[in-house]
Structure 1
Amino acid sequence: MSEPVRDLILIHGAWAAAWVWDDLLAPLRAAGFRPRAVELPGNGHGPLGGLDAGLDDYENTVLALLDTLPGPVGLVAHSGGGVTATRVAERAPERIAGVAFVAGMMLPSGTGFADITAALKADHPEAAGIVPHLLWNQARSASRVPPEAARRIFFQDLPEAAARRAAGRLTPQPEKARAAVPVWSAGRFGRVPRLYVEALRDRSVVPAAQRRMQALVPGARVVSLDTGHAPQVAAPAALAEVLGEFFRDPAAGPQGV
């Protein structure tokens, strides 16, 4: 795409909401971008906050926003938001300039993140991440993260007060969306340029899982940040610099599968 990327859609992960991007917005705007933090349905926020949402609802929410934007658009996906970004890029590769996975789930087609961690846990028991700490509703259709577990697993690199504030803002997550598996093709999602932003101190999507996904879905440009699971909260200026460099020339460097 020769037209420069201006609009970025920021896709949050499980239990979070658009607020998780708040600290990143100003640095991205200063870099010349128009960031738009999407509110996925079923997370307790926005007009569809109470929906029993699945991956189709997530995908359609992002596609609806995409339809309102001109020119090529970049997707920035944190954690489980990577599954949604993959689906959107598969549906509309001609509109997507690139996808940046921020400690994100860059999964092979037909593979869930639980499959990735199951293969790692013998050598890396920490790959279980947040899952052992989750609290479930009676129907096991939604889970929530206890604030203390969120502080230790997601936000351990933040100052104590900031970590507790962020942990307290997490909301219940529909399981059918969290456990969803992406299906994609090499000729559509596979041709979209990708960036993988590693979080080297991540206790949720641990570095071993991040590296495994990079090996299984090769071709992404890779940059490492010395942060926990949420670089957009812990190091927004550094993340904005990395994203700006990628989206100014998404086609440079490795790509394809």
Structure 2
Amino acid sequence: MTPARTPAAGMLLIHGAWQGSWAWDAWLPELAARGWRARTVDLPGNGANPARDAGLEVSLQIYVDALTEALAAFDAPVVVVAHSGAGVPASQLAEVLPERIACLVYVAGMMLPSGMGYAELVDASAAEVPNAGGIAPYLQWRDEGSSSVVPPEAALEIFLHDCPPEAARQAAAKLTPQQESGRALVTTLSAARFGCVPRIYVEALRDRSVLLPLQRKMQALVPGAIVRSIDCGHVPQLARPAELAALVCDTLGGIGIAPSSPAACSAAPASAAASPHSFTTGTSS
């Protein structure tokens, strides 16, 4: 049976730690070619807006507030795409505003259960998953451990090893300091709100940062997502943008979610509701 069509006003793309809206540049043309309007966001504290970020201590609530503001640019529910650590604020956004989200898409993302931080998952997995810490051993710490930076050589080895070489070098050079208060995040989620939003999880099979065993542990802890695989490293939107776009758009189409008219994006929010689905959230162990 063909699923009922759910029109989405577009996609909101959320970057991960140490990154910015530029992280999606290679993917935007692929989405546009498939009829999707996409809006990127620079999360507070990433340095893109020095006036806004001066003296700011970021938090999960500050991230959710910024994403709520970004949603206001759309007049109907949207598909929220979260890369890597952006999965945590994306999940909390779905808890706060489930009616504004047509689907959550995690791209090698942190799809964690309520009350569990990613460091807790890594610590619990370290004995059985070699190199579970991913980028953590390579980080350089600043301001008495309150922020970190990723050395370019480590970014090329862990994040960008299979991306086009020149694009990888440019991306590594753009990484900015990341406040630890914006990385060590823990959600508060419920089955009634977060759990009613459809989810897609795109696992990156050659990921050296969020390793595949950890991606699959999160899928088990937060069941209900449609899982798709892409044979690349941590940044599919740069390593294989066309393949990722086809994978995501085809999967959305398979559950009836399609882009609405290109004129659907406006300056004011609306209260249209997403289609109900029955999903459950996991609990931390």
Shorter-chain TM-score bucket reads over 0.9
Q: Which deviates more from structure 2 when the two are superposed, residues 132-141 or residues 146-155? A: 132-141
The equivalent residue for 1:61 is 66
Q: 1:126 and 2:131 equivalent?
A: yes
CA-CA distance at 1:159 after TM superposition: 3.0
Which residue of 32, 48, 51 maps to 2:52? 48
- Residue among 127, 139, 153 paired with 2:158: 153
The residue that corresponds to 2:271 in the other structure is: none
Helix, strand or coil for the counterpart of 2:22?
helix
Q: Which has the higher contact order (CA 8 A, sep 6+)?
A: 2
Instruction: Please say if 1:13 is aligned against 2:37.
Output: no
The answer to whether structure 1 residue 256 and structure 2 residue 282 are counterparts is: no
Aligned AA (1:6): A
For residues 35 and 250 of structure 1, the distance between their equivalents in structure 2, rounded to whole angstroms, comes to 19
- Alignment partners' CA distance in 1, 2:248 and 2:9: 12
- Which SS does the other structure have where 2:103 is aligned? strand
User: C-alpha separation between the residues in 1 aligned to 2:48 and 2:93?
Assistant: 21
**TM-score, with length taken from structure 1:** 0.95
- Out of 230, 241, 244, the residue aligned to residue 246 of structure 2 is 241
Preserved CA contact (<8 Å) 1:18 1:37: yes
Work out which of the residue numbers 35, 38, 53 in structure 2 matches 1:32.
35
Structure 1 unaligned spans of 5+: none
Task: Give me the TM-score of the superposition, normalised by structure 2.
Answer: 0.86
Contact conserved, 1:63 with 1:88, CA < 8 A, in 2?
yes
Structure showing greater Rg: 2
Cα displacement string for residues 139-164 of structure 1 (whole angstroms, at most 9, x for unaligned residues): 21111101100110000002333222
How far apart are the structure 2 equivalents of 1:155 and 1:91? Answer: 33
Identity between Structure 1 and Structure 2 (%): 50
- Distance of 2:158 and 2:172 partners within structure 1: 10
**Pair 1:5–1:248, CA change in 2 (3 A):** farther
Give the Cα–Cα distance (whole angstroms) in 1 for the partners of residues 52 and 156 of structure 2. Answer: 27
3-state SS in 2 of match to 1:75: strand
Is the CA contact 2:208–2:234 (under 8 Å) kept in the aligned structure 1?
Answer: yes
Please tell me whether the aligned partners of residues 164 and 239 of structure 2 are also in contact (alpha carbons under 8 angstroms).
no
State the secondary structure of the residue aligned to 1:126. Answer: coil
Counterpart code for 2:134: G
Counterpart amino acid of residue 110 in structure 2? M
**Structure 2 Cα separation of the partners of residues 131 and 25 of structure 1:** 29
1:177 is the counterpart of 2:182: yes
Equivalent pair of 2:9/2:74 in contact (CA under 8 Å) = no
Any conservation in 1 of the 2:92–2:188 contact (CA below 8 Å)? yes
Secondary structure class of the residue paired with 2:162: coil
Q: 1:247 to 1:5 in 2, by over 3 A?
A: farther
The Cα of 1:2 is off from its aligned counterpart by 4.8
